[in-house]
Chain A
Amino acid sequence: SYELTQVPSVSVSPGQTASITCSGDALAKHYGHWYQQKPGQAPVLLIKQDNERPSGIPERFSGSSSGTIMTLTISGVQAEDEADYYCQSAGSGGIYSVVFGGGTKLTVL
């Protein structure tokens, strides 16, 4: 079955660039997506289809994908970007199945 792997934590200073990676076989065949979740809140779609920003998402968030790895890049990190970030792609079950990565906690120092 498909699995998506993320590093548990990333730390970055304000104004720096943060890169969060997600790896898994599903990404070689399917688009990946990213979500941001702040404490006590529901997840928010951050990047869809590898690299598209939904309306209202700041330009400092960008995504890329190559082979079995996709990357979320946050340029000019701000304190408000401290959150958990999850990648997601298609699961290995039926057409509607979905798989999430384990999540990466971004800490802004």
Chain B
Amino acid sequence: EVQLVESGGALVQPGRSLRLSCAASGFTFHDYTMHWVRQAPGKGLEWVSGISWNSGSIDQADSVKGRFTISRDNAKNALYLQMNSLRPEDTALYYCAKSYYGGNSYYFDYWGQGTLVTVSS
């Protein structure tokens, strides 16, 4: 059974940093591209960042470029999101998601339950 368990969410002040983690199990982690997707309270889904199986390629949303860094440790079956210079608009539930390449676009076949990040003074 595929499981994705996020952790690391917290209440932080604007300008501070936070590191999210996602522990993966039930599938061959190093075979798949992984992503972070967030959802602000009462709002829709927003893609944040994706990383290739070997960390060789990374993409990020414009809204987090220069502030957030995605990484992974295949030996530990873990995905990370380093979040720097946090802003109130980064307040959201952050989901770790396993992706699959379907023909010509990625989709997310498994999601974690999310970890909540609140940025407020």
Contact = CB atoms under 8 A, between A and B. Distances in A.
Contact of B107 (A49, A93, A102): A49
B105 A89 contact: yes
A95 B35 CA distance: 12
Contact of A91 (B44, B47, B103, B113): B47
Contact of A45 (B46, B107, B113): B107
A89 to B, nearest CB: 5
Nearest to A96: B50
Interface string B105-118: 11111011110000
B102 A33 contact: yes
A6 B33 CA distance: 27
Nearest to A6: B44
Interface in A61-109: 84, 86, 88-91, 93-103
Highest count of chain A CB atoms <10 Å: which of B37, B104, B106 = B106
* Chain B binding surface SS class: strand
Interface string A53-65: 0100000000000
Contacts of A86: 44-45
Contacts of B95: 42-43
Nearest to A54: B109
Contacts, number: 89
B52 interface: yes
B58 interface: yes
Interface in B36-54: 37, 44-47, 50-52
18 contacts: A30-B104, A33-B102, A33-B107, A42-B113, A44-B111, A48-B102, A86-B45, A89-B105, A90-B105, A90-B106, A93-B62, A94-B59, A97-B50, A98-B35, A98-B37, A98-B50, A98-B105, A98-B106
Given A45-B109, A98-B47, 17 more contacts: A29-B104, A30-B104, A31-B104, A31-B105, A42-B112, A43-B45, A44-B111, A84-B44, A88-B45, A93-B59, A93-B62, A95-B59, A96-B52, A96-B59, A96-B106, A98-B37, A100-B46
Interface of B: 33, 35, 37, 44-47, 50-52, 57-62, 95, 99-100, 102-109, 111-114
